[in-house]
Structure 1
Amino acid sequence: MTYSGVVRAGGPADVHELTDLMISKVSVGPMDNNSYLLRCRATGEQLLIDAASEPGTLLRLIGEDSITAVVTTHRHADHWQALAEVVAATGARTWAGAYDAEGIPVPTDRPLQDGDVVRVGRVELTARRLVGHTPGSIALIFDDPHGHPHVFTGDCLFPGGVGNTRKDPEAFASLLHDVETKLFDALPDETWIYPGHGKDTTLGAERPHLQEWRARGW
């Protein structure tokens, strides 16, 4: 089946099958957050990105193979509501951006710095700190050796713009700068973007609108 990235709360996961990695995307309520289960195809090891809500839904998605870690993209509460229950059920380690860890009530086992490598089995992802939506938001980049990059952006980049910076010009400028320099300037148009809410996109689809975002200020 062709992956669309279109999911809805209460509905099934959509699975993106890559050569080395399987990415299962599910939406959980009440704010239609996206959670992503990453599975190394060589080893079967699994990692969850954002235990946002509905621990039962997430634990069914994880299945009997369990997970080794949960990465929380940022400190906002809608992205960690199920974290404590998922960790209790799986024994997974917790990872989050070093500058957001204090805002997450479940202790962070591994605070991530910009450029740190996150491993799931034989697959490596690179953490990039994006400042503005929160002080320590992170994106995770999988540079697929068999294709194009795949990036999990939390609430920092969506179809149509960067994340909410609460009408703070300094925060907006910071977030746009980091998204431009660490994502748009570093990665090709084919790069697939998996956001914290809603539909997926690509850098190529969003790149023509960067000046429009800068002009409107959000």
Structure 2
Amino acid sequence: MDDRADDYTGEVTVGGGADVRELAHLTITKVAVDEKMSNNCYLLRCRETGEQLLVDAADSAGTLLPLVGDAGLRTVVTTHQHWDHHRALAAVVEATGAEVVAGVPDAAAITEQTGVPVTRPVGQGDTVTVGACALSVIAIAGHTPGSVALVYDDTADGGQHHLFTGDTLFPGGVGGTFGDAAAFQQLIGDVETKVFGTLPDATWFYPGHGSDSTLGAERPSLPQWRERGY
């Protein structure tokens, strides 16, 4: 199944409908929550087993839980420790009993802020599964110490790589480092080597806010991002 021919755009608005992408073995549902922050949340469902995984229970359990539905939720991955990415974590985990996954350096802060234990801390090269589908963990420091991205390889079925970046990479630049020059150098270095240095241009990425893009569309701008310092 070639997902490049689908009608998914990734353009979602708070209060509007979800956008759904059907891959050969995985369904990706994107929804935006919270008018102020406009966070993206991604529900992944294995088409073979029906198992589901949520990337960022950012807000609005009343929006997320109906998406989960009766199929249940096996896992919530929190991409990083910032408050706007886990406001619904406690409610979603209480309702579903889902396992909580986060990057090792951010795990304690997420638990402190939410009261929810991180049941599986992960790092570079770890694998998170959703049914029969495997997502590889990329650890990207700089925006926070323990930010993680997840990559799903659909190329065996005629598709592309799919990368969930949290707030580490957006169309037009990397995530914020709040004036910390050393943190920016860490972030841009990790993004260049671990993302652009390992994944092809056709890789479609799904950020924590706003529209999606591909690595090929963003790659020519890497020198400009490094020069401007954000």
Query: What TM-score do the two structures reach when normalised by structure 1?
Result: 0.99
Indicate the RMSD between aligned Cα atoms, in angstroms.
0.7
Task: State which of 95, 99, 121 in structure 1 corresponds to 2:131.
Answer: 121
Deviations 1:1-41 (A, max 9, x none): 71000000111100011111000000000310000000001
**Counterpart for residue 63 of structure 2:** 57
* One-letter amino acid of the counterpart of residue 4, structure 1: T
- Does residue 216 of structure 1 match 2:216? no
1:134 aligned partner: 144
Match of 1:18 among 20, 23, 31: 23
Report deviation, 1:113.
1.2
1:78 maps to amino acid: D
Kindly report structure 1 stretches of 4+ aligned residues shifted beyond 3 Å. Answer: none
Unmatched runs of 5 consecutive residues or more in structure 1: none
Q: Does 1:99 align with 2:105?
A: yes
- In the alignment of these two chains, the number of paired residues is 218
Query: Within 5 Å, which residues of 2 pair with 1:176-195?
Result: 176-195=188-207
Cα distance between partner residues in 2 of 1:85 and 1:113: 25
Letter in 2 for 1:99: P
Q: Find the counterpart in structure 2 of residue 203 from structure 1.
A: 215
Structure 2 match to 1:111: 121
Compute the displacement of 1:190 (Å). 0.3
Instruction: Identify the residue that residue 89 of structure 2 maps to in structure 1.
Output: 83
* Secondary structure of 1:142 counterpart: strand
**What amino acid sits opposite 1:74 in the alignment?**
H
Equivalent residue for 1:164, pick from 156, 176, 179: 176
Residue aligning to 2:72: 66
Q: CA deviation at 1:63?
A: 0.8
From 11, 14, 21, the counterpart of 1:9? 14
Secondary structure of the structure 2 residue equivalent to 1:111: strand
1:39 and 1:52 map into 2 onto residues whose CA distance is 18
Distance, in Å, in 2 between the alignment partners of 1:66 and 1:10 is: 23
Q: What percent identity do the matched residue pairs reach?
A: 59
Q: Specify the code of the residue in structure 2 equivalent to 1:70.
A: V
Deviation of the 1:66 alpha carbon: 1.1
Cα deviation, residue 171, structure 1: 0.4
Measure how far apart 1:148 and its partner are.
1.1
How far apart in 1 are the matches of 2:49 and 2:123?
26
Q: Deviations over 1:121-170 (max 9, x none)?
A: 00000011000000000000101122210000000000000000011111
**What is residue 3 of structure 2 aligned with on the other side?**
none
Deviation at 1:88? 0.3
CA distance in 2, matches of 1:209, 1:58: 34
Report the secondary structure of 1:64's partner residue: helix
CA distance in 2, matches of 1:66, 1:42: 15
Consecutive unaligned residues of structure 2, counting only runs of 5 or more, are: 1-5
- Given residue 16 of structure 1, which amino acid in structure 2 is its aligned partner? R
Scaled by the length of structure 2, the TM-score of the pair is: 0.94
Q: Partners of 2:221 and 2:175 in 1: how far apart? A: 14
Q: Secondary structure at the match of 1:16?
A: strand
Q: Which amino acid aligns with 2:12?
A: V
Q: CA deviation at 1:83?
A: 0.2
What secondary structure is seen at the aligned counterpart in 2 of 1:108? Answer: coil
User: Is 2:158 the partner of 1:152?
Assistant: no
